[in-house]
């Protein structure tokens, strides 16, 4: 939840100061800390700090705490069944193959990703990976389970495998099991 505060702060800086919204040239390396102090002082004077809805924040904080005590059954299933092994054949999907995946609203996505930060990154992240290998895969043996293979945001040669377990035909955030 600390990340939320940090992202909220930098979001406010970028909204008020166009210079901080773009990539900053290296010639400003020595001066950037001074710029940030001035910008922070101006923000604190004008806006009087970060405002948030305490009820919504309590709900947002409660979600990960509740999830921490639940055993990750999908992780156990992946390890026991060897689903991440290279000898299991996964077929690349297109939008017409998987018809029973839950329909999710933006609010459902925010619940699943614990806030707006991840959903705000999604369009750029997706656009940057469409030219590369960005595959959604399935295996007919494992209904209700898809695997996504996508490149790392930070390292070019690294790929991550994301498994999503869902309840077929059930819509909303409750349709995503893990």
pLDDT digits (tens, 9 = 90+) for 64-80: 777 677 667 788 778 77
Q: What are phi and psi of 104, to 5 degrees?
A: -120, 135
Spatial separation of the C-alpha atoms in residues 61 and 40, rounded to whole Å: 26
Q: Is the Cβ–Cβ distance between 165 and 72 less than 8 Å?
A: no
Q: Are residues 163 and 86 in the same domain?
A: yes
DSSP 8-state code for residue 92? E
Q: What is the mean pLDDT of the chain?
A: 76
pLDDT for the residue 96:
63
Residue with tokens 């990703």: 113
> Does residue 64 lie in a domain region?
no
pLDDT band at 57 (very low <50, low <70, confident <90, very high): confident
pLDDT for the residue 50:
63
Answer yes or no: is pLDDT of 117 > 80. no
pLDDT for the residue 49:
62
Q: Are residues 103 and 149 in the same domain?
A: yes
> Does residue 35 lie in a domain region?
yes
Q: Is the entire prediction scored with pTM above 0.85?
A: no
> Does residue 54 lie in a domain region?
no
Q: Is the Cβ–Cβ distance between 125 and 153 less than 8 Å?
A: yes
Q: Where is average pLDDT lowest: 7-21, 45-59, 77-91?
A: 45-59
- Domain containing 42 equals 2-47
> What's the total number of domains in the chain?
2
């Amino acid at each position: 939840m600390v990340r939320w505060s940090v992202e909220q702060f930098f979001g406010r800086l970028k909204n008020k100061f166009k210079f901080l919204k773009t990539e900053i040239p290296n010639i400003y390396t020595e001066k950037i800390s001074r710029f940030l102090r001035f910008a922070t002082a101006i923000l604190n004077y004008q806006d009087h700090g970060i405002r948030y809805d305490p009820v919504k924040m309590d709900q947002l904080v409660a979600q990960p705490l509740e999830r921490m005590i639940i055993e990750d059954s999908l992780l156990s299933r992946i390890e026991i069944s060897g689903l991440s092994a290279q000898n299991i054949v996964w077929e690349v999907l297109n939008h017409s193959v998987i018809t029973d995946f839950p329909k999710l609203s933006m609010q459902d996505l925010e619940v699943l990703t614990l806030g707006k930060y991840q959903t705000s990154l999604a369009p750029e992240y997706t656009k940057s990976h469409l030219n590369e290998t960005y595959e959604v895969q399935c295996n007919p043996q494992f209904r209700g389970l898809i695997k996504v293979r996508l490149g790392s945001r930070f390292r070019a040669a690294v790929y991550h495998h994301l498994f999503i377990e869902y309840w077929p035909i059930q819509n909303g955030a409750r349709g995503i099991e893990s």
